Structure 1
Amino acid sequence: MAATGKKSVLFICLGNICRSPIAEAVFRKMATDAGVVDKWRIDSAATSNYEIGNPPDHRGQACMKSHGVPMQHASRKVTNDDFMSFEYILCMDESNLSELNRRANLVKNVPAKIELLGSYDPQKKLIIKDPYYGSDEDFEKVYDQCARCCKAFLENNS
């Protein structure tokens, strides 16, 4: 973390194929557009093993494409090292938060700040709901929430 001189953020959801890769892609695009992407280490991961190695959900990819946001990711599970190497670990819902806090308690002296991405939402919507069993409209809602939250997060950390 401090050794690289970069800020770092890890976005987390259950499977790392819907919400967290959308947040990662949105944040990366915003940081790129702001000219600060090279000052950041940006990634996303899952709390579960369900989708390891899989690409983002095709509906999320289509949503990102429609907004001109590049997206390239393969699902991975959060590691103990992530808790030590990322400054911020931002998750989507209470279940993610509970699992991350449980895992962090198994790692000594975790420097990462673990919180809900929705805590940055100017519209005060704390939870970013999983769109997996939903419609294209649900992916649009995730995109909109992630865009608001990532914008506020980037502004708070620039």
Structure 2
Amino acid sequence: MAASDTKSVLFVCLGNICRSPIAEAVFRKMASDAGVADKWRIDSAATSTYEIGNPPDFRGQACMKKHGVPMRHVARQVTREDFTSFDYILCMDESNLSDLKRKAKSVKNTKATVELLGKFDPQKQLIINDPYYGSDQDFEKVYEQCVRCCKAFLEVNS
């Protein structure tokens, strides 16, 4: 398959240990289940440097395990190259969006469409709140939002 036939998506949140690795894992499983995983490059990253090198939050991992969604990720920060190599950069809240748009201004030839993942939510919940200081139920809510948004995003891009 030619590289031009491949689409790419980068999911982004503040630390890359809660929301964005959940979205990445959910989307990767959906693409795999739909038989289109080979047509996608899928990753996630952080706007901050807080958690670089760390695995996903244990509560997020437990939530994914409960739903049978494989999750393997090590936190990293968004790079300048991400703006030129990804088709889509989908983030979780207005703060992420602001940080990404500011970074994108310093990159020549950016090709990525930068927007909120929640834009795709059929229930119109635009913001996916950070569950870090919350409970297991908050991680479950993030998972449910990511399922809805990723399903709609995949449908639009199939």
The answer as to 2:36 corresponding to 1:36 is yes
**TM-score relative to the length of structure 2:** 0.98
C-alpha displacement at 1:6, in angstroms? 0.7
Write the deviation string for residues 46-88 of structure 1: whole angstroms up to 9, x where unpaired: 0000000000000000000000000000000000000000000
2:12 match = 12
Number of equivalenced pairs: 157
Structure 1 moving runs of 4+ over 4 Å: none
C-alpha displacement at 1:108, in angstroms? 1.4
1:76 match = 76
5+ residue gaps, structure 2, are none
**Any idea what SS the aligned residue of 1:45 has?**
strand
Q: Which moved more, 1:3-12 or 1:90-99?
A: 3-12
C-alpha displacement at 1:5, in angstroms? 2.8
Where does 1:97-136 land on structure 2 (aligned, <5 Å)? Answer: 97-136=97-136
CA distance in structure 2 between the aligned counterparts of 1:113 and 1:23, rounded to whole angstroms: 17
Letter in 1 for 2:128: I
CA distance in structure 1 between the aligned counterparts of 2:96 and 2:31, rounded to whole angstroms: 25
Letter in 1 for 2:80: N
**Any idea what SS the aligned residue of 2:22 has?**
helix
C-alpha displacement at 1:3, in angstroms? 4.1
5+ residue gaps, structure 1, are none
CA distance in structure 2 between the aligned counterparts of 1:58 and 1:90, rounded to whole angstroms: 23
In percent, how many aligned pairs have the same letter?
A: 78
**TM-score relative to the length of structure 1:** 0.98
Letter in 1 for 2:74: A
Letter in 1 for 2:34: A
Letter in 2 for 1:57: D
